Amino acid sequence: MTRRILCPASEASATARQVPRKPGFTSISRASYSSSSSSSSSISDEEVVDIPEVFNSRETLEFCGLNSEVSALIFDSWERLQQTPGELGYGNDIITEAKHFVRAMGEREDAWLPEHDWRRALVGMGATQRLCDAILDSAFAHLRKTQSASYWVLDTIDISWEFLEGLDKRIRKKRDETRDLVTPSPSIQPGLLGTYRGPSVLRTATIDAVPSSVEGRTMLFKGGAMAGLVSVFNDDGSLNLARLWSRNPTDFHRCKDVLLYFTKHVDVAEIYADYTMRRVSPEEGVVLHFAVPSELLEDHREIFDPEWQQLVFWSRGPASFDRLSVPPHLTQFTDAPLLIGCIYGMPNKAVARLDRSSDLTGQYMKTRNGGNATQYVFQTEAIQIQLQNQCRGWVWYQSMRYARDFAMRFLPPDEA
């Protein structure tokens, strides 16, 4: 069950020199895995990140935002489970035990309304003071209130674990790119959309800025953690949009977990990316920019009140046997290839305590200018396949940590 975070080669190239190690941790250079280009001055080898040496350890739980006492408690419980083959939990990674602990403590006391004691609930789940401060950062208050305290702790654990799982690959990829990078001549001018018509060895194009508009295409966005979002790119530059499916329940479906949610507001995607980075400081918050063929968006339905209220209430409201199927009058929306509607702005636990759908009036997530945030939901397999195929080479990823005017994209085969 002992798996190291980094292979020896990656650790050798990433380890920060002359930095004292904490027991159970390795100090690595942030530059060793950053998406920032090798020629960028936005990051230096002096920026250091402490990562646990092995996955199933107390140190990993602390990295995920749990305090030392709770981390020791969970580790001891996990270790006991590994002594007995066949025991429930035997063979699981320690993250499973950690999330079980957080859920159990969240059942005792959680927070989801502004008047609740969020800090006390977070502390009860084992969150460190640093994680409490990050979740409760007033700059993200509007986003935080869309979910419960337990959700944000569990989400932080997931992002942290996913970061660790992908770190070795990121270090090797960055090392190979730095070694093999061919810099275009200054005389080579960027072509369409900033794509260099230069050396064919470049599979990833570095772009000064993502275009705000593309003729014949509509820009849609998704923000979050680098490890999760950039995994949408296959090694050959093609897309695997299944990696972006949202877990149920979502705003517009109670059961389906094969739906693709995007927003048309870049500022909404950016705040999701920034909040990820605020809670998991070693990770990069990223925004994916999709230039979607506008004709692909023509076959859509828009949903407004009162149907919007009824669909959200069915999707996120109280559980019961008579709520397993979509209400017949709402299937026109759930069967649509593309559904467009406002983003709901309150957590599931709040909806579950409402008596009727009309109580949802006005509970929308807002953009920075105070308008209602809108989401585009690709619901059918056919339109998702079209989106996946027609957006190849038309998706940028932009790191929020280093420079909002720096972006990269994978080139389609005819440009690589």
Distance CA 52, CA 4 (A): 9
CB distance 212 to 274 below 8 Å: no
The residue type of 126 is G
Name beta bridge partners: 408. 206, 397
Residue 229: phi and psi, rounded to 5, are: -75, -40
How many DSSP H helices and E strands does the chain contain?
Answer: 14, 11
Q: What is the 3-state secondary structure (H, E, C) of 291-355?
A: EEEHHHHCCEEECCCCHHHHHHHHHHCCCCHHHCCCCHHHHHHHCCCEEEEECECCCHHHHCCCC
- Distance between CA 208 and CA 213 in Å, rounded? 15
Q: Amino acid identity of 115?
A: E
Q: Give residue 217's pLDDT.
A: 97
CB 257 within 8 A of CB 248: yes
Alpha-carbon torsion 167, 170, 176, 182, what sign? negative
Quote the tokens at residue 361: 């009036």
HSE-CB at 410 with a 13 A cutoff on CA atoms is 18
Per DSSP, 284 falls in state P
Q: How far apart are alpha carbons 112 and 110 in whole angstroms?
A: 7
Alpha carbon separation from 90 to 73, 84, 93, 96, 393 (Å, rounded): 17, 7, 9, 11, 43
Question: What distance separates the 2 farthest-apart alpha carbons in the chain?
Answer: 67
* 172: its two tokens: 């090797």
Nearest CA-CA partner of 409 in 390, 385, 392: 392
Structure tokens at 399: 């790191």
Q: Is 379 exposed, middle or buried (0-12, 13-18, 19+ CB in 10 A)?
A: buried
Residue with tokens 């989401």: 375
SS3 for 385? helix
121 touches 110 (CB < 8 A): yes
Nearest to 331 by CA among 348, 352, 314: 314
Write b or e for each residue in 82-104: b if 16 or more Cβ atoms lie within 10 A of its Cβ, otherwise e.
eeeeeeeeeeeebbebbbebbee
The sheet with strand 407-410 has its strands ordered as: 204-207, 407-410, 395-399, 285-293, 217-225, 260-263, 374-378, 338-342, 300-302
DSSP characters for 47-68? Answer: -EEEEESBSSSHHHHHHTTB-H
Whole-number Cα distances in Å, 252 to 58, 101, 262, 301, 310 = 38, 29, 13, 12, 10
So what's the pLDDT on residue 189? Answer: 31
pLDDT at 1: 61
Per-residue pLDDT of the chain (416 residues; tens, 9 = 90+): 679 999 999 999 999 887 778 899 999 999 999 876 544 445 555 789 999 999 999 999 999 999 999 999 999 999 998 988 877 778 899 999 999 999 999 999 999 999 999 999 999 999 999 999 999 999 999 999 999 999 999 999 999 999 999 999 999 988 887 765 433 333 323 322 333 222 222 355 656 678 888 999 999 999 999 999 999 998 888 899 999 999 888 999 998 999 999 999 999 999 999 999 999 999 999 999 999 999 999 999 999 989 999 999 999 988 775 677 899 999 999 999 999 999 999 898 999 888 888 888 778 899 988 899 999 999 999 999 999 999 998 999 888 886 555 667 776 555 54
pLDDT of residue 147: 94
State the pLDDT at residue 78: 94
CB of 268 closer than 8 Å to CB of 367: yes
Residues in the chain: 416
> What is residue 55's predicted lDDT score, i.e. its pLDDT?
96
State which H helix or E strand residue 151 sits in: helix 149-180
